[in-house]
């Protein structure tokens, strides 16, 4: 398993598929007639983590915390401001995605794919299902003609759709079926790594369970590795092996799923867990933690710990000094000055 030190640096193992080092994304703020840069929105601010082959890493947090931006930078769908993204490609070996030329980036993207959040907006209504799923194969030069149709047909079968639907258009399908089509488009090139950007948040609860079970079945069949971006911690508990929690562009906690849910070591994680619906409201920890104040402004973050204006356990040190990324238990990391001292409430196993 991977290890990390207080500076967020990582040490890889032979099973490490993805390694992110000190990743940052700053969006410039421009004002005035000449559009001069007067500041930056720090959407992602110094994120480091490892993803092991075959695992599902959940990336969670409130809207605007930078989790989707992180997912897009992994595939270089948007460029990073600083940092490195190392990926172990089956053909090229360990490569830095942020430094690849266009030809090698296209080659690596055969093995790094993305499932988008909105199954309605992510599918071009003017294209047939065959054209939509076959587009990556054509763009990467992997297949054409009858071979392309065969691969699309096979991939549709993997996601539970009949091959006959490939001549239809997206409007003929329900939301759950459209998301299955989006999954098929991501898997048609037979990738190793899939970044799933809130793939079930736009679906009904009953359909969510079907899609989550499908993703797990496909992982077993194809040996996939997932980075699963989400804000619903009940969904994350169902599918993820480890969970990384983000707040205002920074990682604040990361641990194996069961450990993080039952034994949180950051006050923000405790607040997120308190929002999970519980079947028995009489259980300890069933009270919802309502955080005071607003989420910190990533263009003008507070001093010290970014979470201190909302933290119920805040002390003077939190306002003055940024906490370090610390391993508080085996494979359990937290960015809190008092992670070893606080007795935080999780959820029942």
Closest among 83, 136, 134 to 113, alpha carbons compared: 136
Q: What is the pLDDT of residue 267?
A: 96
Q: What is the pLDDT of residue 206?
A: 86
Q: Residue 63, Cβ neighbours under 10 Å: how many? A: 9
Q: How many Å apart are CA 321 and CA 263, to the nearest integer?
A: 25
Q: How many Å apart are CA 233 and CA 268, to the nearest integer?
A: 13
3-state secondary structure 120-152: CCCCCCCCCHHHHHHHHHHHCCCCCHHHHHHHH
pLDDT tens, N- to C-terminus, the chain (349 residues): 444 444 444 466 778 999 999 999 999 999 998 899 999 999 999 999 999 999 999 999 998 899 999 999 999 999 999 999 999 999 999 999 999 999 999 999 999 999 999 888 999 999 999 999 999 999 999 998 999 999 999 999 999 999 999 999 999 999 999 999 999 999 999 999 999 999 998 888 889 999 999 999 999 999 999 999 998 898 999 999 999 999 999 999 999 999 999 999 999 999 999 888 766 655 554 578 888 888 899 999 999 999 999 999 999 999 999 999 999 999 999 999 999 999 999 987 6
Q: What is the pLDDT of residue 291?
A: 85
Q: What is the pLDDT of residue 289?
A: 84
- Pairing, β 242-247 against β 250-256: antiparallel
Q: How many Å apart are CA 86 and CA 239, to the nearest integer?
A: 24
Q: Whole-prediction pTM value?
A: 0.90
Q: How many Å apart are CA 254 and CA 114, to the nearest integer?
A: 22
Closest among 49, 51, 54 to 66, alpha carbons compared: 49
Q: What is the pLDDT of residue 299?
A: 93
114, two tokens: 């993305």
Contacts for 200-204: CB closer than 8 Å, 24+ residues apart: 200/230, 200/235, 201/117, 201/230, 201/231, 201/232, 202/117, 202/118, 202/119, 202/120, 202/175, 203/119, 203/175, 203/176, 203/179, 204/175, 204/176
């Amino acid at each position: 398993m991977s290890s990390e030190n207080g500076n967020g640096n990582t040490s890889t193992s032979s099973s490490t598929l993805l390694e992110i080092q000190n990743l940052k994304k700053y969006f410039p703020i421009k004002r005035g007639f000449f559009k001069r840069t007067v500041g930056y929105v720090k959407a992602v601010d110094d994120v480091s983590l490892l993803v092991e082959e075959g695992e599902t890493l959940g990336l969670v947090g409130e809207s605007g915390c930078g989790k989707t931006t992180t997912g897009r930078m992994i595939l270089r769908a948007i460029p990073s401001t600083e940092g490195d993204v190392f990926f172990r490609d089956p053909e090229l070996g360990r490569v830095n995605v942020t430094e690849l030329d266009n030809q090698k980036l296209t080659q690596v993207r055969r093995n790094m794919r993305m499932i988008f959040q909105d199954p309605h907006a992510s599918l071009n209504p003017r294209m047939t299902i065959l054209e939509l799923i076959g587009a990556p194969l054509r763009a990467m030069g992997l297949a054409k003609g009858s071979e392309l149709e065969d691969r699309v047909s096979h991939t549709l079968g993997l996601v539970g759709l009949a091959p006959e639907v490939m001549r239809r258009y997206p409007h003929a399908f329900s939301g759950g079926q459209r998301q299955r089509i989006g999954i098929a488009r991501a898997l048609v090139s037979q990738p190793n790594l899939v970044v799933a950007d809130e793939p079930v948040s736009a679906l009904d609860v009953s359909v969510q369970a079907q899609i989550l079970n499908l993703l797990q079945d496909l992982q077993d069949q194809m040996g996939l590795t997932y980075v699963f971006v989400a804000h619903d911690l009940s969904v994350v508990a169902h599918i993820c092996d480890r969970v990384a929690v983000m707040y205002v562009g920074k990682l604040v906690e990361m641990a194996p799923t069961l450990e993080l849910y039952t034994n949180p070591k950051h006050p923000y994680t405790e607040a997120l867990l308190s929002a999970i619906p519980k079947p028995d409201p009489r259980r300890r920890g069933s009270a919802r933690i309502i955080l005071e104040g607003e989420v910190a402004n990533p263009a003008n973050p507070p001093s010290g710990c970014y979470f201190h204006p909302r933290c119920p356990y805040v002390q003077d040190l939190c306002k003055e000094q940024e906490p370090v990324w610390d391993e508080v238990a085996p494979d359990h990391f937290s960015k809190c000055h008092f992670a070893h001292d606080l007795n935080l409430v999780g959820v029942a196993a």
